[in-house]
Amino acid sequence: MNTVTRPGLRERKKQRTRDALLRAALELFTTQGYEHTTVDEITEAVDVSQRTFFRYFAGKEDAAFAVQDLAHTRFAVAVRERPLDETPLEALRNAVLKDWDTIAEAVEQVVPIDLYLRMCRLTESTPALLAAHLRRSDEAGEEVARIIAEREGLDVDTDPRPRVAVAVFAGVIRVTERRWGLSEDLGATETRALTVRYLDAMGPVLAEKWRTG
Amino acid sequence: MNTVTRPGLRERKKQRTRDALLRAALELFTTQGYEHTTVDEITEAVDVSQRTFFRYFAGKEDAAFAVQDLAHTRFAVAVRERPLDETPLEALRNAVLKDWDTIAEAVEQVVPIDLYLRMCRLTESTPALLAAHLRRSDEAGEEVARIIAEREGLDVDTDPRPRVAVAVFAGVIRVTERRWGLSEDLGATETRALTVRYLDAMGPVLAEKWRTG
DNA sequence: AGGTTAGTGACAGTCACTGACAATTGACAA
DNA sequence: TTGTCAATTGTCAGTGACTGTCACTAACCT
């Protein structure tokens, strides 16, 4: 008798199964490695049939990126919410930074953050995962480019600037991603600072001569 | 009796097999689609065992990108050959443009250019291939970043600028790639011009306000 | 010519993923 | 409460990518 109709038992059960599968998958991936984890191992850990796994996730890869997708979606929303007086790159910059502070709790709703972070690192060192990650980022970038174009009242298929701006921005993000993913000792706070530094350094990099001689 | 020891019969036979497999693979991929082409179909077309295919290529994917890898390698060389008085981004820009004019014949040595171009378009519309392509590009970018760092006498692990510059540059290239891959009517010449335009527009994009209002 | 070695084919096995159908279980009305 | 409907799941069979192994053949070397 909830005023807000609570999802029925069926719905709740489904959610539990999905969560359990997701958590088991990430746990196994991060401890044994992605390639060395079979779907059977995941389903055995949750005690469902293999077929069920594929009903919840399009494939192994899809499970690996369920959380990452959440982050991408949130970022797109954050960009859409930026005030219109910011330039495109300002909007992108401020969107990441604002999102950064609240992303942790959003992730925690689904899986322990620690698990997510370990998964991110694994992505960087697993070719198959890195490939999938880059493609998903590319996709997310496309969406953001459309948002930027809309903000600026431009046609994304005529004017290249939205896509160029997003591509440039994504490139910088990728650098910090890599840096963070491969270094053992680099906390979230330091990485955030690094991101700011790189983004702010971007302008000069393009014009300046680097050599002091 | 060659002064330059010509590769033996064994070596030549191997090369022929590899070429035949590669050509058959690309031909089938581009006509039937990547996913709908089985390795068995490829090997049947060349009349070798399936096992042989996997001795020449690490997988289906590897065959699909054999030519693309050639292009990446050439680009890296082109960057290395740029005069030292060019700024990093100038060097990158001029390397693509210079390479552009000679890449065609280099490709033709291995497979018909037309086949290569069709393969590129297919990559853009096949998620699995796009993912693989982006990862390989990322890898190539890492190599180029090291070359740039060396040119400038910097340590790539300390100074982020080489990677940032390459990431930014790669982002722009990606935009033209996409544009070319998805439009039916866009020749190589027009695409080259587009690349120049985007690259040259990059600086302004980062600083300027876009809205005229 | 005869021994060595690289390249190949044949075969068996693993694993991701899919389609089809039957069994189960929550939802909902009589 | 009970029976019906529909959603979820399990089972089974099959495809296709990829790997290890081993015997065989053909090029290479002396």
Q: For chain B, give the number of residues.
A: 213
Task: Using the Cα atoms of residue B10, residue B15, residue B21 and residue B24 in order, give the sign of their dihedral.
Answer: negative
| Residue in B closest to A180 by C-alpha | B157
Q: B78 and B95 in contact (C-beta within 8 Å)? A: yes
Q: Measured between alpha carbons, how far apart are the two ends of chain A, in Å?
A: 76
A7 pLDDT more than 90:
no
Of residues A196 and B206, the one with the higher pLDDT is: A196
- Give helix then strand counts, H and E, for chain A: 10, 0
3-class DSSP state for residue B51?
Answer: helix
Report the distance separating Cα B210 and Cα A162, nearest Å.
10
- Which of chain A's residues have a Cβ under 8 Å away from the Cβ of B64? none
| Residue in A closest to B209 by C-alpha | A87
Report the distance separating Cα A111 and Cα A126, nearest Å.
21
What's the mean per-residue pLDDT of chain A? 90
Q: Provide the residue ranges of all domains of chain A, joining segments of one domain with +.
A: 9-58, 65-207
User: Can you give the distance from the CA of residue B49 to the C1' of nucleotide D23 in angstroms?
Assistant: 15
A65-207 matches A9-58 in CATH topology: no
pLDDT given at position A211 = 58
pLDDT given at position A64 = 98
> Model confidence at A200, in pLDDT bands (50, 70, 90)?
confident
Smallest Cβ distance to A164: which of B135, B152, B198? B198
> Model confidence at A1, in pLDDT bands (50, 70, 90)?
very low
Interface membership of A39 toward B (CB under 8 Å): no
pLDDT given at position A3 = 40
- Locus of tokens 């001689």: A213
Task: Give the list of residues 6+ apart from residue B128 with CB closer than 8 angstroms, or none.
Answer: B34, B35, B61
User: Can you give the distance from the CA of residue B119 to the C1' of nucleotide C9 in angstroms?
Assistant: 30
pLDDT given at position A213 = 43
- If you ran DSSP here, which 8-state letter would residue A85 be given? T
| CATH number listed for the domain at residues A65-207 | 1.10.357.10
B180-198, pLDDT tens digit by residue? 888 887 888 888 998 998 8
CA distance A197 to chain B (A): 10
For range B16-22, the mean pLDDT: 98
B85-134, pLDDT tens digit by residue? 998 888 999 999 999 889 999 999 999 999 999 999 999 999 999 999 99
What's the mean per-residue pLDDT of chain B? 90
Q: Smallest Cα–Cα separation from B160: which of A174, A115, A11, A3?
A: A174
| CATH number listed for the domain at residues A9-58 | 1.10.10.60
Q: B119 and B64 in contact (C-beta within 8 Å)? A: yes
- Which of chain A's residues have a Cβ under 8 Å away from the Cβ of B124? none
Q: What number of other Cβ atoms are within 10 A of residue A143's Cβ?
A: 16
CA distance A145 to chain B (A): 11
Report the distance separating Cα A205 and Cα A89, nearest Å.
15
A95 pLDDT more than 70:
yes
Q: Measured between alpha carbons, how far apart are the two ends of chain B, in Å?
A: 77
Nucleic strand D within 7 A of Cβ B37: yes
B146 pLDDT more than 50:
yes
Q: A172 and B168 in contact (C-beta within 8 Å)? A: yes
Of residues B87 and A62, the one with the higher pLDDT is: A62
Count contacts between A and B (CB, < 8 Å).
109
| Residue in A closest to B164 by C-alpha | A172
User: Can you give the distance from the CA of residue B125 to the C1' of nucleotide D4 in angstroms?
Assistant: 46
Nucleic strand D within 7 A of Cβ A127: no
- If you ran DSSP here, which 8-state letter would residue B182 be given? H
Task: Give the list of residues 6+ apart from residue B159 with CB closer than 8 angstroms, or none.
Answer: B149
| Residue in A closest to B180 by C-alpha | A157
User: Which range, A113-127, B154-168, B199-213, is most confident?
Assistant: A113-127
A2 pLDDT more than 50:
no
C strand bases under 7 Å from protein CB? 6-11, 14-20, 26-28
B6 pLDDT more than 80:
no
Interface membership of A187 toward B (CB under 8 Å): no
pLDDT given at position B110 = 92
B30-85, pLDDT tens digit by residue? 999 999 999 999 999 999 999 999 999 999 999 999 999 999 999 999 999 999 99
| CATH number listed for the domain at residues B9-59 | 1.10.10.60
pLDDT given at position A45 = 97
